[in-house]
Chains A and B, each alone.
Chain A
Amino acid sequence: MMALTNLADDELLRLAASGNEEAFSVLYQRRQGAVYRFALQMSGSPYIAEEVTQEIFLMLLNHSSSYEASRGSLASYLYGVARRLVWRRMAQNRSHLPLAVVESEDGRMPEQLVALPQVERDLARDEAVRSLRRAILGLPAGYREAVVLCDLHELSYSEAAQVLGCAIGTVRSRLHRARALLAERLAAKPSAASRCLA
């Protein structure tokens, strides 16, 4: 197992395809988190995230040859497949479509607080993160993908471009616009966002 953890994704996939269960397990443990998080951040639905993760690794299990190492990294390939599956799932199940950005009842912070103790700062940060998540889910699809890949998954512009199948300049421009929209929406509710930095 120790030796397997040192292997590259391609090698693990090759071993898994030839029936090595440990190799498949290592590959799954290495990549499932990113796939699950991506699907969750894109859809806002743990149900869809779980389904997509399961489907992707089943596909990898049964059709490992569909991945070609010469065309990019396995991580990029998985993001690309996850992206398609998330959109498909969301189209199939409209009930999982993200809601428009709405303010939650428990998100209201007392405006009179000036010096915030740690607990309240944590609450403010949590609320800011929640607001951000809602705002991301309310973004147009292309902008959402750019933010999730570049900011939440910290992919480079070129990696994101490979996943999205578009030019680097397009990713950069989408990210720029998406961030402007997010900043605007977070600024519309400044209490939580600004206090989380206090």
Chain B
Amino acid sequence: MNCIEFENVVVAIARGELMDTAALQSGLAHAEACIRCAHRLESEKTLSEVMAAAVAEDSAREAPPRVSEMLMGAFRERRIAAKRLRRTWRRRVLAGAVAAMLVLGAVVALRKTMDTRAVRMGAALLVEQDDAAVAETGDEVMTDFIPLVYDPAPIGRGSLVRVELPRAALSAFGLPVNEDRNEDLVQADLLLDDDGLMRAVRFVE
């Protein structure tokens, strides 16, 4: 081993971490033969000894107790704050749920009221239309309105259209028909909603 190679292992030798026995023996042999490297090894060993003394001296060093007290205080405050936050959230969620229920109740009540009004309006419309039709013709006989679509919501606004249909159409609604007069036309009132959709039909005689 030469001086350059020795320099590469001197720290490891001084720190006692050179596991390669051959390299260790070679390094120590070189230090015995070379005064400069012997001094280098000695100074590294001295440094390691002083380092060890410093480590021993420092081993008892700790942060002052006030740091621990401050941190534990902060921990407790944090826990209390977290609890308070949870409680506040619980209250907010509860208040939100109550508010939602109240709104829902109000909506349901409002809808019921509107439905009732709509039924009344629909009925009134039909009555008005019936009255108008009767007033116009005076002697007409009509069936009740027969629904053409399934829609429980009554129609509030719409129009009544008078049309003529083959008498055979009566049979489609279960009404009695004289087969001899199948080709004749019969008058019918179609009840259309705002979209032009047929909602109901009644036959007029």
Contacts and interface: CB of A to CB of B under 8 A. Distances in A.
Q: Do A and B come from the same complex?
A: yes
Nearest to A33: B62
Interface string A126-151: 00110111000000000000000001
Given A183-B44, A186-B43, A197 B49 contact: yes
B43 A129 contact: no
Interface stretch (B27-35, B68-76, B152-160, B166-174): B68-76
Chain A contact-residue range equals 35 or more
Main secondary structure on A side of the interface with B: helix
B54 interface: yes
Interface of B: 11, 14-15, 40, 43-44, 46-51, 53-55, 57-58, 61-64, 67-68, 70-72, 74-76, 78-79, 82
Nearest to A54: B67
B91 to A, nearest CB: 20
Interface stretch (A1-9, A20-28, A87-95, A99-107): A20-28
A35 to B, nearest CB: 8
Contacts of A54: 63, 67, 70-71
A49 to B, nearest CB: 7
A29 B63 CA distance: 10
A69 interface: no
A187 B43 contact: yes
29 contacts: A21-B72, A24-B75, A25-B68, A25-B72, A28-B68, A32-B62, A32-B67, A36-B61, A36-B62, A37-B61, A40-B58, A41-B58, A50-B63, A50-B64, A54-B67, A61-B78, A129-B54, A132-B50, A132-B54, A151-B48, A151-B51, A152-B55, A179-B44, A179-B47, A183-B46, A183-B47, A196-B49, A196-B50, A197-B49
